[in-house]
Each structure stands twice: as structure tokens, then as C-alpha cells.
Amino acid sequence: MKKQANKKGATALLLVATLILVLLISGIPSAHKADKKHCTAITGVVKEIKAGPPGIIIHLKEDPRIYYISRKTNTSLSLKTLEKELTGKNIQLYTAQDWSPLDPFSTMKQVRRLQIGDTVIFTEF
């Protein structure tokens, strides 16, 4: 009887470990190069720009999500310049269409392209 219970316990543990592994792997962003067709356009008025752990953080008015430009991809933008140029202005952001179990409601999105009208301020593609 104990051997049968041990087999069920080991099977359940293996099943849970496999499920956790699948969830973690699905949360890893895809390695394909960013392009416009894999991005969603978001338009809004800039409420605040600040520096934070992921990079330059952009908050839009009436939008609870956090948008950020990664430090890894941003080599030329300065926080002060962006604050001066963008605060209070209507901008268009392009973010990747991805989902992560670590952020199931997509409250934090990486910016792949930032523009005002037809002027591109930052782009990864």
C-alpha cells in the first residue's frame, strides 16, 4: 500500500514540476527581432517619465500600465531630454504582443518604438 502511495506522490510531483517548467518557459520573451507587425500601437498623453530598474519608465494619462524602454536597447536617450520633449504631449508607443505568467494582466510593457506624430524618437526596428 505504501509503495502505491509513493508512486502517486512521485507522479504528482513530476506533473507539478512539468507544469511549472512550461509556465516559466512560456514567460520568456521570444527571441525574434522586434518588428511593427508583432507590435501593438498605443497612443496617449505623457503624464510622467522617470528612471527605474528596467530602464526609462513612461506613464500615460488615464492608462494604468507601465511602459519602459530597456537599458539594454537604449544607448542614446537621456532622461532629461525625454522629460523635456515628451511630458504633456501625445505620443505613440509600439509594444510587443507577448504574454507572461509572471505578468498575466500585461501591466508592464517594453517599448519597441516611440514617436511623436511622424518623428521617431526611439526604435528597435
pLDDT tens-digit readout, 35-45: 788 899 999 99
46 touches 56 (CB < 8 A)? no
Stated as kind and residue range, the H or E segment containing 95 is strand 90-96
pLDDT tens-digit readout, 56-114: 999 999 999 999 999 888 778 899 999 999 999 999 999 988 777 778 888 999 999 99
Between the two ends of the chain, the Cα-to-Cα distance in Å is 61
Which residue, among 42, 66, 55, has the nearest Cα to 115 in the 3D structure? 42
Q: Where are the domains of the chain?
A: 30-123
Could you tell me which CATH class the domain 30-123 is placed in? Answer: mainly beta
Which residue, among 40, 72, 83, 47, has the nearest Cα to 62 in the 3D structure? 47
pTM score above 0.85: no
